[in-house]
Copies of this chain bind each other. A is one copy, B any other.
Amino acid sequence: MPLILISNDDGITAKGIQSLIESMRPLGSVIVVAPDSPRSAQSSALTVTTPLRVKKIHEEEGLVQYICNGTPSDCVKLALNQLCPRKPDIVVAGINHGTNSSISVIYSGTIGATIEGCVNGIPSIGFSLCNFDPRADFSTAMIYAQRITKKIVQEGLPKGICLNVNIPDLKTIKGIKICRQSEGYWSEEFIKREDPYGKHYYWLTGEFINAEKLNDDTDEWALENGYISIVPVKVDMTAYEYINDLKKLDYEQE
């Protein structure tokens, strides 16, 4: 029986993680270590200034659930180091409420948890549904999450590579596309308001701009056209193609 570690960034009460648990149970023994509250946009952040607390909240045959006051990456680290009976066969994160395509891979706590599994040498997959609603319908996403996870448990993944899977919010999916991360960015990102005491504060907001609308090999294109996108993500962020040019710069010269 495969051992499946599940985490997320929307927290234990999210419908997305409950859906993921349900879809993983037929595949193996499930251990859940999830944040006790929403931890969206936590990237690979770690908690270093406050102690971490863990609580077992559920245990039955084939399913153990813990909550933790840390980030998604903390959850996976704690799971692997303290809570799992053995090294899991796979780490799955999500299903996130909302898209994690393109540049969101940098900020997403779902992907943070996924990367953490990968850094520890475990095949790891982050799943996201393109719908931010807390009541979103995960039924189609669950089918594909199960199918993709089953395949990766069988096939494995190369060292240092994990998968970022985004699922369009559709009843009928056209299929699965293997993609690259689309270029994109967020524009007009802050709302400035005045509090009742006359002081300003800011809320992060904004609109995602897909910088390459026409390229059909990107995750954004796949999602906009009704396909699930799978982007293989590397933890080695080195820009190898630029190393030689960078060597030519003379830093001693004025």
Interface residues of A (CB under 8 A from B): 38, 40-49, 51-54, 71, 73-74, 77-78, 81-82, 103, 105-107, 112, 115, 119-120, 144, 147-148, 150-151, 155, 158, 160-161, 163, 176, 178, 180-181, 183, 185, 188-190, 192-193, 199-204, 230-240, 242-243, 245-247, 249-252, 254
Contacts and interface: CB of A to CB of B under 8 A. Distances in A.
A233 B45 CA distance: 18
Number of this chain's copies in the assembly equals 2
B42 A204 contact: no
A247 B178 CA distance: 6
A247 B41 CA distance: 29
Nearest to A157: B242
A147 B251 contact: yes
Contacts of A230: 246
6 contacts: A51-B201, A81-B188, A181-B236, A181-B238, A233-B237, A237-B237
Given A180-B243, A232-B239, A238-B234, A81 B40 contact: no
Nearest to A71: B45
B233 A238 contact: yes
B47 A106 contact: no
B204 A183 contact: no
